[in-house]
Amino acid sequence: MHHLLSRLPLLDENFEQLNPSSDVVDFVEYYTICLGDDELELFTTYVRKSNLIPFIEKAAPDLHAALVGSLKHTFAYSRILTALAGEDDVNAWGIPYLMEADTDIESALLLMSNGYHKPTLQMLRTALEASITHAYLTVIGVTYDDLPTHYIPPMKDRKRGMINRLVAIRVLTSEQARSVSTLYCDLSNATHSQYKYLHNKFEEVNERAILANTISIIRSVAICCITVMLQMTRLHLLSSDQYGANP
């Protein structure tokens, strides 16, 4: 396992308390220090631009620190991805799915800032899928030119599922795979409009509970994306023939 993963999750923290010693700064600088940027300044700008602090202060101010804690993880994914891409340090960088996951997370945050909780979860599901798909396609040796016609198997399937395949070749541990599978099931329930995720219920909706759950899931999805990205840098990926993969 990539050693940086032992530092996750990052701590919840009030926005006003962020400082150069905040854990998010040290975490991302492991890869971004070569870029010469002020990561604290970039993170505070990132949080402000999300417009989520005014939103959470109005809707559920007691979740302020938890929100900032989750945003640390989405920021870390985006920043480390930027650094790795600049160094051509991500396996199969020609496959665009890691960047797609970053865009999906950004879209999810925009939806959340406007109060659209179920669509937020739907976008987070696509981010998780994109991250896992990147690792899977890399393992089986798919190139960018292959993508338009290449079959992408289901996330969860005992024989052909992408999550199980990544466990088999040690991109994910069994424990990480269980976490991804559980998270994916929850997000799929939102995507398929399970009743508890509906906006328009006849009974009163507990807005704070919905927000707390959404913030927690944002953190979990970002951690999964970071995990896949860092594990891909750690592994020496062999050819699809050696893995016995069938595209």
pLDDT, tens digit, for every residue of 57-84? Answer: 999 999 999 999 999 999 999 999 998 8
- For the cut 70, the answer to whether the pLDDT of residue 247 exceeds it is no
The pair phi, psi for residue 128, each rounded to 5°, is -65, -45
Per-residue pLDDT, averaged over 203-229, amounts to 92
Q: What whole-number distance in Å separates Cα of residue 107 and Cα of residue 148? A: 24
Per-residue pLDDT, averaged over 12-21, amounts to 97
Tokens of 46: 């990132």
Average pLDDT, the chain: 88
Residue 91 is predicted with a pLDDT of 59
pTM, entire model: 0.90
- For the cut 60, the answer to whether the pLDDT of residue 236 exceeds it is no
Residue 37 is predicted with a pLDDT of 96
How confident is residue 246, by pLDDT bands cut at 50, 70 and 90?
very low
In the chain, what percentage of residues exceed pLDDT 90?
63
Q: Which residues contact 166 (CB under 8 A, 6 or more apart)?
A: 132, 135, 136, 139, 172, 177, 228
2 or 106: which carries more pLDDT confidence?
Answer: 106
Residue 178 DSSP class: H
Q: What whole-number distance in Å separates Cα of residue 21 and Cα of residue 171? A: 31
Count CB-CB contacts under 10 A for residue 2. 14
Tokens of 222: 């970002």
- For the cut 50, the answer to whether the pLDDT of residue 137 exceeds it is yes
How confident is residue 30, by pLDDT bands cut at 50, 70 and 90?
very high
Angstrom CA distances, 57 to 15, 43, 70, 129, stand at 12, 19, 15, 31
- For the cut 80, the answer to whether the pLDDT of residue 237 exceeds it is no
Q: Which long-range contacts (CB under 8 A, 24 or more apart) does 52-56 make?
A: 52/109, 52/112, 52/113, 53/15, 55/112, 55/113, 55/115, 56/211
Lowest mean pLDDT among 94-98, 135-139, 167-171: 94-98
Length of the chain: 247
| 179 contacts 224 by C-beta, under 8 angstroms | yes
CA neighbor of 66 nearest in space, from 143, 17, 139, 12:
12
- For the cut 50, the answer to whether the pLDDT of residue 245 exceeds it is no
Lowest mean pLDDT among 39-43, 91-95, 144-148: 91-95
- For the cut 50, the answer to whether the pLDDT of residue 132 exceeds it is yes
Per-residue pLDDT, averaged over 30-40, amounts to 93
Q: What whole-number distance in Å separates Cα of residue 214 and Cα of residue 70? A: 10
